[in-house]
Amino acid sequence: MLNTMQTKLCLAVIAVAALAGCATSTKPGAVGVTRTQLLIVPASEVDAMALSDFSNQNQKAKSAGRLLTSGPEYTRVARIAKALQVQVPVFRDDTKDWKWELALIDAPILNATCAPGGKITFYTGLIRKLKLTDDEIAMIMGHEIAHALREHGRERMSQAKATGGLAALANVLAPTKGLQVAVASEASHYLFTLPNSRQNETEADTIGLELAARAGYNPKAAMSVWEKMAAEGGGAGNAEFLSTHPADSTRIASLTAMQPRVVPLYEAAAKADTGSSKAEASASAAASGKPAAATKSRKKKSSK
Protein backbone atom coordinates (compact mmCIF):
# COMPACT_ATOMS: atom_id res chain seq x y z
CA MET A 1 0.00 0.00 0.00
CA LEU A 2 1.37 3.42 -0.89
CA ASN A 3 1.66 5.94 1.98
CA THR A 4 0.52 9.57 1.70
CA MET A 5 3.90 10.89 0.57
CA GLN A 6 4.25 8.18 -2.08
CA THR A 7 0.71 8.87 -3.26
CA LYS A 8 1.43 12.58 -3.69
CA LEU A 9 4.64 11.79 -5.54
CA CYS A 10 2.86 9.37 -7.86
CA LEU A 11 0.12 11.90 -8.58
CA ALA A 12 2.76 14.52 -9.38
CA VAL A 13 4.50 12.13 -11.75
CA ILE A 14 1.18 11.35 -13.48
CA ALA A 15 0.44 15.06 -13.89
CA VAL A 16 3.88 15.78 -15.38
CA ALA A 17 3.63 12.78 -17.69
CA ALA A 18 0.20 13.88 -18.88
CA LEU A 19 1.42 17.40 -19.66
CA ALA A 20 4.49 16.06 -21.44
CA GLY A 21 2.32 13.69 -23.44
CA CYS A 22 0.02 16.37 -24.85
CA ALA A 23 0.59 16.87 -28.57
CA THR A 24 -1.11 16.60 -31.91
CA SER A 25 -0.13 13.63 -34.05
CA THR A 26 -0.85 15.20 -37.44
CA LYS A 27 -0.53 18.39 -39.45
CA PRO A 28 -3.84 20.21 -40.09
CA GLY A 29 -4.11 19.55 -43.81
CA ALA A 30 -6.78 21.44 -45.72
CA VAL A 31 -9.49 20.22 -43.32
CA GLY A 32 -7.80 21.74 -40.28
CA VAL A 33 -7.72 18.99 -37.63
CA THR A 34 -5.60 20.49 -34.82
CA ARG A 35 -6.89 18.93 -31.58
CA THR A 36 -4.26 18.28 -28.90
CA GLN A 37 -4.10 14.65 -27.74
CA LEU A 38 -2.90 12.83 -24.65
CA LEU A 39 -0.19 10.42 -25.87
CA ILE A 40 1.74 9.14 -22.86
CA VAL A 41 2.02 5.51 -23.98
CA PRO A 42 5.19 5.17 -26.11
CA ALA A 43 4.45 4.84 -29.82
CA SER A 44 7.05 2.08 -30.12
CA GLU A 45 5.14 -0.09 -27.65
CA VAL A 46 1.83 0.43 -29.43
CA ASP A 47 3.41 -0.28 -32.82
CA ALA A 48 4.94 -3.53 -31.55
CA MET A 49 1.63 -4.70 -30.10
CA ALA A 50 -0.22 -3.80 -33.30
CA LEU A 51 2.31 -5.60 -35.48
CA SER A 52 2.01 -8.73 -33.34
CA ASP A 53 -1.78 -8.63 -33.60
CA PHE A 54 -1.62 -8.04 -37.38
CA SER A 55 0.81 -10.93 -37.86
CA ASN A 56 -1.32 -13.31 -35.78
CA GLN A 57 -4.43 -12.31 -37.72
CA ASN A 58 -2.72 -12.96 -41.04
CA GLN A 59 -1.29 -16.29 -39.93
CA LYS A 60 -4.74 -17.51 -38.93
CA ALA A 61 -6.23 -16.29 -42.22
CA LYS A 62 -3.45 -17.95 -44.20
CA SER A 63 -3.89 -21.25 -42.33
CA ALA A 64 -7.60 -21.12 -43.15
CA GLY A 65 -6.87 -20.40 -46.82
CA ARG A 66 -8.52 -16.98 -46.58
CA LEU A 67 -5.56 -14.61 -47.00
CA LEU A 68 -5.61 -13.26 -50.56
CA THR A 69 -2.31 -12.10 -52.02
CA SER A 70 -3.17 -11.98 -55.71
CA GLY A 71 -6.10 -11.89 -58.11
CA PRO A 72 -8.44 -9.10 -59.32
CA GLU A 73 -9.83 -8.19 -55.89
CA TYR A 74 -6.38 -7.97 -54.32
CA THR A 75 -5.00 -5.95 -57.23
CA ARG A 76 -7.92 -3.56 -57.02
CA VAL A 77 -7.66 -2.96 -53.26
CA ALA A 78 -3.85 -2.72 -53.40
CA ARG A 79 -4.05 -0.07 -56.13
CA ILE A 80 -6.39 2.05 -54.01
CA ALA A 81 -4.22 1.59 -50.94
CA LYS A 82 -1.14 2.72 -52.85
CA ALA A 83 -2.91 5.84 -54.13
CA LEU A 84 -3.89 6.81 -50.59
CA GLN A 85 -0.45 6.10 -49.16
CA VAL A 86 1.07 8.64 -51.53
CA GLN A 87 -1.06 11.34 -49.87
CA VAL A 88 -0.38 10.66 -46.18
CA PRO A 89 2.69 12.95 -45.90
CA VAL A 90 0.21 15.83 -46.13
CA PHE A 91 -0.61 14.94 -42.52
CA ARG A 92 2.57 13.23 -41.27
CA ASP A 93 6.14 13.39 -42.53
CA ASP A 94 7.23 10.30 -40.59
CA THR A 95 4.97 8.02 -42.66
CA LYS A 96 7.84 7.69 -45.13
CA ASP A 97 9.30 5.24 -42.61
CA TRP A 98 6.11 3.20 -42.26
CA LYS A 99 6.25 -0.36 -43.55
CA TRP A 100 2.89 -0.45 -45.33
CA GLU A 101 1.18 -3.82 -45.64
CA LEU A 102 -2.19 -4.93 -46.96
CA ALA A 103 -4.10 -7.99 -45.75
CA LEU A 104 -7.16 -8.84 -47.83
CA ILE A 105 -9.12 -11.55 -46.03
CA ASP A 106 -11.72 -13.58 -47.90
CA ALA A 107 -14.54 -13.73 -45.35
CA PRO A 108 -18.18 -12.54 -45.27
CA ILE A 109 -17.39 -9.90 -42.68
CA LEU A 110 -18.09 -6.18 -42.95
CA ASN A 111 -14.89 -4.82 -41.48
CA ALA A 112 -11.68 -2.93 -42.22
CA THR A 113 -8.89 -1.56 -40.04
CA CYS A 114 -5.52 0.14 -40.26
CA ALA A 115 -3.09 -0.56 -37.45
CA PRO A 116 -0.30 1.84 -36.45
CA GLY A 117 2.56 1.82 -38.94
CA GLY A 118 0.32 1.29 -41.96
CA LYS A 119 -0.99 -2.27 -41.50
CA ILE A 120 -4.24 -2.31 -43.49
CA THR A 121 -6.82 -5.08 -43.21
CA PHE A 122 -9.81 -5.31 -45.55
CA TYR A 123 -12.44 -8.03 -45.78
CA THR A 124 -13.96 -9.14 -49.07
CA GLY A 125 -17.37 -9.27 -47.36
CA LEU A 126 -17.32 -5.49 -47.08
CA ILE A 127 -16.68 -5.07 -50.80
CA ARG A 128 -19.08 -7.75 -52.01
CA LYS A 129 -21.96 -7.24 -49.60
CA LEU A 130 -22.11 -3.47 -50.14
CA LYS A 131 -21.09 -3.67 -53.82
CA LEU A 132 -18.51 -0.96 -53.20
CA THR A 133 -17.16 1.24 -55.97
CA ASP A 134 -13.49 2.20 -55.99
CA ASP A 135 -14.44 5.61 -54.61
CA GLU A 136 -16.31 3.98 -51.71
CA ILE A 137 -13.43 1.61 -50.92
CA ALA A 138 -11.15 4.65 -50.85
CA MET A 139 -13.45 6.43 -48.39
CA ILE A 140 -13.47 3.50 -45.97
CA MET A 141 -9.74 2.87 -46.31
CA GLY A 142 -8.95 6.56 -45.98
CA HIS A 143 -11.02 6.67 -42.80
CA GLU A 144 -9.11 3.73 -41.31
CA ILE A 145 -5.72 5.15 -42.33
CA ALA A 146 -6.77 8.42 -40.67
CA HIS A 147 -7.29 6.57 -37.36
CA ALA A 148 -3.69 5.32 -37.63
CA LEU A 149 -2.36 8.77 -38.57
CA ARG A 150 -4.13 10.35 -35.61
CA GLU A 151 -3.02 7.46 -33.35
CA HIS A 152 -6.49 7.14 -31.87
CA GLY A 153 -5.72 3.68 -30.48
CA ARG A 154 -2.61 4.97 -28.71
CA GLU A 155 -4.64 7.91 -27.44
CA ARG A 156 -7.27 5.61 -25.93
CA MET A 157 -4.56 3.52 -24.30
CA SER A 158 -3.01 6.71 -22.90
CA GLN A 159 -6.35 7.87 -21.54
CA ALA A 160 -6.90 4.48 -19.90
CA LYS A 161 -3.42 4.63 -18.38
CA ALA A 162 -3.95 8.15 -17.08
CA THR A 163 -7.39 7.46 -15.62
CA GLY A 164 -6.01 4.31 -14.03
CA GLY A 165 -4.07 6.67 -11.79
CA LEU A 166 -1.94 5.10 -9.12
CA ALA A 167 -2.64 1.52 -10.15
CA ALA A 168 -1.43 2.15 -13.68
CA LEU A 169 1.67 3.95 -12.47
CA ALA A 170 2.43 1.21 -9.97
CA ASN A 171 2.21 -1.34 -12.77
CA VAL A 172 4.68 0.64 -14.85
CA LEU A 173 7.08 1.03 -11.94
CA ALA A 174 6.91 -2.65 -11.00
CA PRO A 175 6.12 -4.66 -14.15
CA THR A 176 5.74 -8.42 -14.02
CA LYS A 177 5.62 -11.09 -16.70
CA GLY A 178 1.91 -11.58 -16.05
CA LEU A 179 1.29 -7.86 -16.42
CA GLN A 180 3.14 -7.74 -19.72
CA VAL A 181 0.98 -10.55 -21.10
CA ALA A 182 -2.17 -8.80 -19.90
CA VAL A 183 -1.12 -5.52 -21.50
CA ALA A 184 -0.38 -7.23 -24.81
CA SER A 185 -3.77 -8.95 -24.84
CA GLU A 186 -5.50 -5.64 -24.12
CA ALA A 187 -3.76 -3.82 -26.98
CA SER A 188 -6.11 -4.97 -29.73
CA HIS A 189 -9.03 -4.17 -27.42
CA TYR A 190 -8.03 -0.51 -27.32
CA LEU A 191 -6.84 -0.37 -30.92
CA PHE A 192 -9.72 -2.10 -32.69
CA THR A 193 -12.55 -3.26 -30.40
CA LEU A 194 -13.56 -0.26 -28.33
CA PRO A 195 -15.74 2.24 -30.19
CA ASN A 196 -14.03 5.50 -31.04
CA SER A 197 -15.47 8.66 -29.58
CA ARG A 198 -17.63 10.80 -31.83
CA GLN A 199 -14.75 13.26 -31.92
CA ASN A 200 -12.28 10.63 -33.13
CA GLU A 201 -14.73 9.35 -35.72
CA THR A 202 -15.25 12.87 -37.06
CA GLU A 203 -11.50 13.38 -37.29
CA ALA A 204 -11.10 10.11 -39.20
CA ASP A 205 -13.98 11.02 -41.50
CA THR A 206 -12.46 14.43 -42.18
CA ILE A 207 -8.86 13.35 -42.75
CA GLY A 208 -9.91 10.23 -44.67
CA LEU A 209 -12.08 12.34 -46.93
CA GLU A 210 -9.15 14.63 -47.72
CA LEU A 211 -6.78 11.72 -48.36
CA ALA A 212 -9.21 10.13 -50.81
CA ALA A 213 -9.99 13.42 -52.56
CA ARG A 214 -6.28 14.22 -52.98
CA ALA A 215 -5.83 10.74 -54.47
CA GLY A 216 -8.51 11.50 -57.06
CA TYR A 217 -11.48 9.65 -55.55
CA ASN A 218 -14.87 11.32 -55.59
CA PRO A 219 -15.67 12.62 -52.07
CA LYS A 220 -19.40 12.25 -52.68
CA ALA A 221 -18.83 8.52 -52.19
CA ALA A 222 -18.37 9.20 -48.48
CA MET A 223 -22.11 9.76 -48.16
CA SER A 224 -23.14 6.86 -50.38
CA VAL A 225 -20.98 4.34 -48.53
CA TRP A 226 -22.43 5.28 -45.14
CA GLU A 227 -25.92 5.18 -46.59
CA LYS A 228 -25.15 1.61 -47.65
CA MET A 229 -23.81 0.88 -44.16
CA ALA A 230 -26.98 2.24 -42.59
CA ALA A 231 -29.13 0.09 -44.87
CA GLU A 232 -27.14 -3.01 -43.84
CA GLY A 233 -27.11 -2.10 -40.16
CA GLY A 234 -29.31 -4.93 -38.98
CA GLY A 235 -27.86 -7.69 -41.11
CA ALA A 236 -25.85 -10.66 -39.89
CA GLY A 237 -22.10 -10.19 -39.83
CA ASN A 238 -22.29 -6.40 -39.68
CA ALA A 239 -22.01 -5.92 -35.94
CA GLU A 240 -18.21 -5.69 -35.69
CA PHE A 241 -17.72 -2.70 -37.97
CA LEU A 242 -20.96 -0.89 -37.23
CA SER A 243 -20.54 -1.24 -33.47
CA THR A 244 -17.45 0.97 -33.72
CA HIS A 245 -18.58 3.04 -36.72
CA PRO A 246 -22.23 4.06 -36.34
CA ALA A 247 -23.76 4.98 -39.70
CA ASP A 248 -26.31 7.56 -38.63
CA SER A 249 -27.85 10.65 -40.20
CA THR A 250 -25.60 12.96 -38.16
CA ARG A 251 -22.51 11.39 -39.65
CA ILE A 252 -23.83 11.63 -43.20
CA ALA A 253 -24.83 15.27 -42.62
CA SER A 254 -21.33 16.03 -41.33
CA LEU A 255 -19.71 14.43 -44.38
CA THR A 256 -22.02 16.44 -46.62
CA ALA A 257 -20.97 19.65 -44.86
CA MET A 258 -17.29 18.82 -45.45
CA GLN A 259 -17.68 18.60 -49.22
CA PRO A 260 -16.78 22.24 -50.04
CA ARG A 261 -13.38 21.75 -48.38
CA VAL A 262 -12.41 18.66 -50.33
CA VAL A 263 -14.14 18.88 -53.72
CA PRO A 264 -11.50 21.36 -55.01
CA LEU A 265 -8.78 18.87 -54.04
CA TYR A 266 -10.58 16.11 -55.94
CA GLU A 267 -11.07 18.32 -58.99
CA ALA A 268 -7.39 19.34 -58.95
CA ALA A 269 -6.33 15.69 -58.72
CA ALA A 270 -8.62 14.71 -61.58
CA LYS A 271 -7.32 17.59 -63.69
CA ALA A 272 -3.71 16.69 -62.96
CA ASP A 273 -4.35 13.05 -63.77
CA THR A 274 -6.03 13.95 -67.07
CA GLY A 275 -3.18 16.29 -67.96
CA SER A 276 -0.61 13.62 -67.14
CA SER A 277 -2.48 11.05 -69.23
CA LYS A 278 -2.65 13.45 -72.17
CA ALA A 279 1.05 14.22 -71.90
CA GLU A 280 1.90 10.53 -71.85
CA ALA A 281 -0.35 9.92 -74.85
CA SER A 282 1.23 12.80 -76.75
CA ALA A 283 4.73 11.56 -76.00
CA SER A 284 3.79 8.06 -77.10
CA ALA A 285 2.18 9.40 -80.27
CA ALA A 286 5.23 11.51 -81.07
CA ALA A 287 7.45 8.48 -80.69
CA SER A 288 5.24 6.37 -82.96
CA GLY A 289 4.38 9.11 -85.41
CA LYS A 290 0.64 8.56 -84.86
CA PRO A 291 -2.01 11.05 -83.58
CA ALA A 292 -2.63 11.02 -79.84
CA ALA A 293 -5.83 9.22 -78.84
CA ALA A 294 -8.31 10.79 -76.44
CA THR A 295 -7.69 9.90 -72.81
CA LYS A 296 -10.03 9.22 -69.92
CA SER A 297 -9.78 10.88 -66.53
CA ARG A 298 -9.29 9.24 -63.13
CA LYS A 299 -13.07 9.13 -62.73
CA LYS A 300 -12.84 5.75 -64.41
CA LYS A 301 -11.82 4.46 -60.97
CA SER A 302 -15.41 4.84 -59.80
CA SER A 303 -16.33 1.58 -61.49
CA LYS A 304 -17.06 -1.47 -59.38
Catalytic residues: 144
Most distant CA pair in the chain, distance: 87
Contacts of residue 217, Cβ cutoff 8 Å, sequence gap at least 6? 80, 83, 134, 135, 138, 139, 142, 266, 301, 302
Q: What is the dihedral of CA 187, 36, 247, 143, to 10 degrees?
A: -70
Supply angle C-alpha 230, 127, 88, rounded to 5: 90
What amino acid occupies position 127?
A: I
> Rounded to whole angstroms, how far apart are CA atoms 39 and 303?
40
> Rounded to whole angstroms, how far apart are CA atoms 125 and 111?
8
Q: How far is CA 64 from CA 60, 83, 101, 107, 236, in A?
A: 6, 29, 20, 10, 21
